[in-house]
Amino acid sequence: MAQTISADRVGGVIWIVFGAAVIYGSWMMDRLESLGIPPATAPGVVPGLLGIGIIIFGLVLAVRRSPADRPAATAGSVGLPEVEPAPHTDEFHWKRVLVSWMLCMTYGGVLLGSGLHYWVLTASFLFLHVLLLDETERVPARPTSRRLLLAAMLAPAAATTVMLTFERIFLVRLP
Protein backbone atom coordinates (compact mmCIF):
# COMPACT_ATOMS: atom_id res chain seq x y z
CA MET A 1 0.00 0.00 0.00
CA ALA A 2 1.50 3.32 -1.05
CA GLN A 3 1.48 5.91 1.67
CA THR A 4 0.58 9.47 0.66
CA ILE A 5 1.85 12.55 2.41
CA SER A 6 -0.97 14.10 4.39
CA ALA A 7 -1.67 17.81 4.58
CA ASP A 8 -0.86 17.72 8.30
CA ARG A 9 2.61 16.31 7.65
CA VAL A 10 3.39 18.93 5.00
CA GLY A 11 1.96 21.69 7.18
CA GLY A 12 3.92 20.40 10.17
CA VAL A 13 7.20 20.55 8.26
CA ILE A 14 6.39 24.08 7.06
CA TRP A 15 5.66 25.19 10.66
CA ILE A 16 8.87 23.56 11.92
CA VAL A 17 10.94 25.45 9.34
CA PHE A 18 9.10 28.69 10.16
CA GLY A 19 9.65 28.16 13.90
CA ALA A 20 13.36 27.58 13.30
CA ALA A 21 13.53 30.82 11.30
CA VAL A 22 11.80 32.69 14.15
CA ILE A 23 14.29 31.27 16.66
CA TYR A 24 17.20 32.22 14.41
CA GLY A 25 15.82 35.76 14.00
CA SER A 26 15.31 36.14 17.73
CA TRP A 27 18.85 34.89 18.40
CA MET A 28 20.25 37.47 15.97
CA MET A 29 18.39 40.39 17.64
CA ASP A 30 20.40 42.96 19.54
CA ARG A 31 20.45 41.99 23.21
CA LEU A 32 20.99 45.60 24.32
CA GLU A 33 23.81 44.57 26.67
CA SER A 34 25.39 48.01 26.21
CA LEU A 35 22.31 49.54 27.86
CA GLY A 36 22.48 47.21 30.86
CA ILE A 37 19.34 45.28 29.89
CA PRO A 38 18.99 41.99 31.84
CA PRO A 39 19.15 38.91 29.56
CA ALA A 40 15.65 37.78 30.57
CA THR A 41 14.13 41.01 29.21
CA ALA A 42 16.11 41.18 25.96
CA PRO A 43 13.97 41.81 22.85
CA GLY A 44 14.54 38.33 21.40
CA VAL A 45 13.27 36.29 24.38
CA VAL A 46 9.54 36.27 23.56
CA PRO A 47 9.99 35.60 19.81
CA GLY A 48 12.41 32.78 20.70
CA LEU A 49 9.86 31.20 23.03
CA LEU A 50 7.16 31.57 20.38
CA GLY A 51 9.48 29.90 17.86
CA ILE A 52 9.96 26.96 20.23
CA GLY A 53 6.19 26.67 20.63
CA ILE A 54 5.68 26.78 16.85
CA ILE A 55 8.24 23.99 16.41
CA ILE A 56 6.55 21.84 19.08
CA PHE A 57 3.12 22.18 17.46
CA GLY A 58 4.68 21.61 14.02
CA LEU A 59 6.18 18.38 15.33
CA VAL A 60 2.78 17.31 16.65
CA LEU A 61 1.27 17.88 13.21
CA ALA A 62 4.12 16.12 11.43
CA VAL A 63 4.31 12.96 13.54
CA ARG A 64 0.73 12.28 14.54
CA ARG A 65 -1.08 9.43 12.85
CA SER A 66 -3.55 10.26 10.14
CA PRO A 67 -7.19 9.17 10.62
CA ALA A 68 -6.70 6.34 8.10
CA ASP A 69 -3.84 4.90 10.20
CA ARG A 70 -5.78 4.92 13.48
CA PRO A 71 -7.35 1.67 14.65
CA ALA A 72 -11.11 1.57 14.37
CA ALA A 73 -13.16 1.49 17.57
CA THR A 74 -14.32 -1.97 18.53
CA ALA A 75 -17.83 -2.78 19.66
CA GLY A 76 -16.55 -3.52 23.18
CA SER A 77 -14.90 -0.11 23.65
CA VAL A 78 -15.88 1.65 26.83
CA GLY A 79 -18.44 4.40 26.21
CA LEU A 80 -17.89 4.53 22.44
CA PRO A 81 -20.76 3.68 20.14
CA GLU A 82 -19.97 1.61 17.07
CA VAL A 83 -19.68 4.06 14.18
CA GLU A 84 -18.95 3.48 10.53
CA PRO A 85 -15.66 5.26 9.74
CA ALA A 86 -15.84 8.06 7.20
CA PRO A 87 -13.96 7.57 3.96
CA HIS A 88 -10.42 8.91 4.17
CA THR A 89 -9.85 11.98 1.97
CA ASP A 90 -6.71 13.61 3.30
CA GLU A 91 -5.37 15.02 0.06
CA PHE A 92 -3.22 18.09 -0.02
CA HIS A 93 -4.67 21.13 -1.82
CA TRP A 94 -1.74 23.11 -3.24
CA LYS A 95 -4.06 25.74 -4.72
CA ARG A 96 -5.42 26.58 -1.28
CA VAL A 97 -1.89 26.82 0.16
CA LEU A 98 -0.80 29.14 -2.65
CA VAL A 99 -3.84 31.40 -2.21
CA SER A 100 -3.21 31.57 1.53
CA TRP A 101 0.50 32.23 0.98
CA MET A 102 -0.23 35.00 -1.52
CA LEU A 103 -2.72 36.64 0.87
CA CYS A 104 -0.23 36.45 3.76
CA MET A 105 2.69 37.79 1.70
CA THR A 106 0.59 40.63 0.33
CA TYR A 107 -0.69 41.50 3.80
CA GLY A 108 2.52 41.17 5.81
CA GLY A 109 5.15 41.68 3.15
CA VAL A 110 3.68 44.45 1.01
CA LEU A 111 0.76 46.31 2.58
CA LEU A 112 1.47 46.27 6.33
CA GLY A 113 3.31 49.48 7.16
CA SER A 114 2.54 51.07 3.79
CA GLY A 115 0.33 53.77 5.25
CA LEU A 116 -2.96 51.88 5.27
CA HIS A 117 -4.62 51.80 8.69
CA TYR A 118 -3.92 48.54 10.53
CA TRP A 119 -7.56 47.83 11.34
CA VAL A 120 -8.78 48.22 7.76
CA LEU A 121 -5.92 46.16 6.37
CA THR A 122 -6.31 43.35 8.92
CA ALA A 123 -10.10 43.20 8.57
CA SER A 124 -9.75 43.04 4.77
CA PHE A 125 -7.11 40.30 5.01
CA LEU A 126 -9.25 38.20 7.36
CA PHE A 127 -12.39 38.77 5.25
CA LEU A 128 -10.63 37.56 2.09
CA HIS A 129 -9.00 34.64 3.89
CA VAL A 130 -12.32 33.37 5.27
CA LEU A 131 -14.17 34.05 2.03
CA LEU A 132 -11.64 32.38 -0.27
CA LEU A 133 -10.47 29.50 1.89
CA ASP A 134 -13.54 28.28 3.72
CA GLU A 135 -13.91 24.55 3.13
CA THR A 136 -17.39 24.62 1.64
CA GLU A 137 -16.78 21.46 -0.40
CA ARG A 138 -16.50 19.56 2.90
CA VAL A 139 -19.50 21.35 4.42
CA PRO A 140 -22.07 21.47 1.60
CA ALA A 141 -24.81 22.90 3.86
CA ARG A 142 -22.95 26.22 4.15
CA PRO A 143 -23.99 28.36 1.17
CA THR A 144 -21.96 31.26 -0.19
CA SER A 145 -24.24 33.88 1.41
CA ARG A 146 -23.65 32.33 4.83
CA ARG A 147 -19.90 32.29 4.22
CA LEU A 148 -20.03 35.94 3.16
CA LEU A 149 -21.96 36.86 6.31
CA LEU A 150 -19.55 34.87 8.49
CA ALA A 151 -16.54 36.61 6.94
CA ALA A 152 -18.22 40.01 7.28
CA MET A 153 -18.86 39.42 11.00
CA LEU A 154 -15.63 37.62 11.91
CA ALA A 155 -13.09 39.89 10.17
CA PRO A 156 -13.94 43.22 11.84
CA ALA A 157 -14.44 41.55 15.24
CA ALA A 158 -11.04 39.83 15.11
CA ALA A 159 -9.27 42.92 13.76
CA THR A 160 -10.80 45.07 16.52
CA THR A 161 -9.86 42.56 19.22
CA VAL A 162 -6.25 42.35 18.04
CA MET A 163 -5.93 46.12 17.66
CA LEU A 164 -7.39 46.89 21.09
CA THR A 165 -5.33 44.17 22.76
CA PHE A 166 -2.08 45.59 21.43
CA GLU A 167 -2.97 49.25 21.93
CA ARG A 168 -4.68 49.03 25.35
CA ILE A 169 -2.99 46.11 27.08
CA PHE A 170 0.51 46.00 25.55
CA LEU A 171 0.59 49.76 24.84
CA VAL A 172 1.91 49.17 21.31
CA ARG A 173 0.81 51.66 18.69
CA LEU A 174 -0.07 49.81 15.50
CA PRO A 175 0.46 51.35 12.05
Q: Please tell me the number of Cα atoms within 13 Å of 161 on its side-chain side.
A: 7
Q: Comparing C-alpha atoms, which of 175, 47, 22, 25 is closest to residue 112?
A: 175
Q: Between 172 and 52, where is the model more confident?
A: 52
| Contact in structure between 52 and 65 (CB atoms under 8 Å) | no
Q: Could you tell me the residue ranges of all domains in the chain? A: 1-67, 105-170
Once rounded to an integer, what is the mean pLDDT over residues 44-69? 86
- Assessment of whether the complete model's pTM goes beyond 0.75: no
pLDDT tens for each residue of 94-109: 787 888 889 999 998 8
pLDDT tens for each residue of 129-165: 888 887 655 554 455 787 888 899 999 999 999 999 8
